Every structure is written in C-alpha cells, then in structure tokens.
Amino acid sequence: MVAIAVDEQDVYPPRVLVTVTGLSAGDDVAVYRVVTATRTAVRAGATTDAPGAAWLTVDAELPFGVPVSYLAVVNGVEVTTAATTYDLPGGKVVVSDAITGQASEVLIGAWPEMEYARPTTAFVVGGRNVAVSGSLAGFASEIEFLMLTVDGANALLQLLRTATQGIVQIRQSGGYDDVDCYVQVSRARKRRFSQDGSDPKRLVVCTVLEVEPWAPELAARGYTYDDLTTVYAPTGTYADLAGDFATYLDLAQAELS
C-alpha cells in the first residue's frame, strides 16, 4: 500500500525529507507541499518512472510557523501527511540557498518599501500621450541586514557571491507578512556599525529584485560524502556504514548532524 512519511532534519535551517513507499517500478509520483490549501510542487519531487519501491525528496524551502502537510500523487491516487508546524531555531530570519544548502542567520535592520514597476513606453501621437505597457513585475527593494559579528557579515556575503543562479530565499520564523520571498541580489555593500570599527556589528545592504525560485530541474542538496566523513572519520569504514544502515533508503533518511 502506498504511504507517505516525513522526517525533519536537525540542520539550520530545518529541512524535511519526504518519503513515498509502497511503489512499483515505473509508477508516476509527484510530491507537493500544502499550506493553507495551496499545493506547491516540491523541488525534484516528481518522476514518471519510479526506480523502485520508494521515492525520497528533500524539501529545503518550507515556510516556518504555519501548518505544513505533504501530499503525494501516485498514478492519480493521493496520500497525505498530517499538518505539522515547523520552527526556525533562533527566531531570527534566514537567508538560504536550497540547492547548495548554504544559509545565514540574519536580522532585518531596515526594509522600508517594495517598489512595483510596470514596463512602459510612451509615445506622443497627434497631441495625445499613448502608453504601451506590460504587467507589474515583482518588487524591487533595498534590504538592510544587521549582522552581529564580522564573521557573520562575511558569511552572508559569501552566500550572496556563490548563490545558485544569483538567487536566495528569505524566510522568517512565522507570523510576519511580506518577508518570505525569493530574491536576486544585484548589489551588496558592507557598512560598519561604528565608524572606527570598534563595534563588531555590520550592516549588509542589498539591492534586490523579487524573482521566481531556482530552475525546477535543480534538486535541493541533502547530505553529502563530506557529511559522512565528518561522522565516520578518521577511523570509520564502509563496513561501519553498512552496519548502521541496512538500505540506501535508510542512509538517505539518516540523521548525520
């Protein structure tokens, strides 16, 4: 019988492993995140040719502080989980790249406005103004992140430098409007909080454009060989690994933090 289960990983920011079991090879599978009755396809969560009895996908983009459930559609049949509210540790704001797994904990020092612009070209025709325009695009804005340490500011800048497709996701701990979004950072500047440098706090001011998430074919990264090395090095062997995890599915669902 087809079933769906979720495992919250003890990482920052938290992510969820969604496992669909009871499959047959060749099944059609699609996994969705459900928030307030709105379905969103989980990144890399669909296949038209299931490789075996189980299908696992990583959701590294879930919202915090609101009930979230997961739905799997297998050959047109739906199975779902109970709704769970996931917490963002620390209660601050996280800027993250789901594809690489990089993230920075930040405070928003200032985010006063979001500007929405309509692309418009104006012509003067027979003494009349004629405008040809498109739809309002996503917002443009300037966000000021307050970082409590120089290392924190440098880590945020490194994340912005290496962000997949130049995109990062901003999420808050729950209960605040107009924060959760995806943005492309076109410019960033680091500002001293105290001009003589005596205070370790720094302001990282970012010029951003609201954009769509990363390309759908890019999968969120789960654990890597580096994570395994951290847990099992320096004396661990593949035999130890096999003793701890009977199947590849067990390993994919492992807690390696």
Q: What are the residue ranges spanned by the domains of the chain?
A: 1-87, 93-210, 223-257
CA distance 86 to 61: 12
Q: Residue 90 in 3-state DSSP? A: coil
- pLDDT the model gives residue 10: 85
Mean pLDDT of 247-257: 65
Contact criterion met (CB below 8 Å) for 63 and 213: no
Mean pLDDT of the chain, nearest integer: 90
Cβ of 42: how many Cβ atoms within 10 Å?
23
Mean pLDDT of 211-240: 75
Pair of tokens at residue 229: 């090395």
Contact criterion met (CB below 8 Å) for 155 and 163: no
Contact criterion met (CB below 8 Å) for 19 and 9: no
- pLDDT the model gives residue 66: 96
Q: How confident is the model at residue 238 (pLDDT cuts 50, 70, 90)?
A: low
Same fold, 1-87 and 93-210: no
The two beta strands, 167-171 and 15-21, are unpaired
Contact criterion met (CB below 8 Å) for 204 and 157: yes
CA distance 68 to 249: 23
Q: What is the architecture of the domain spanning 93-210? A: Beta Barrel (2.40)
pLDDT value at 186 more than 90: yes
Q: How confident is the model at residue 221 (pLDDT cuts 50, 70, 90)?
A: confident
Contact criterion met (CB below 8 Å) for 248 and 2: no
pTM (two decimals): 0.85
pLDDT value at 228 more than 70: no
1-87 CATH: 2.60.40.10
Mean pLDDT of 87-104: 95
- pLDDT the model gives residue 115: 96
Closest CA to 202 of 159, 158, 161, 148: 148
The two beta strands, 103-110 and 140-147, are antiparallel
| String of DSSP letters for 183-204 | EEEEEEEEEESSTTS-S--EEE
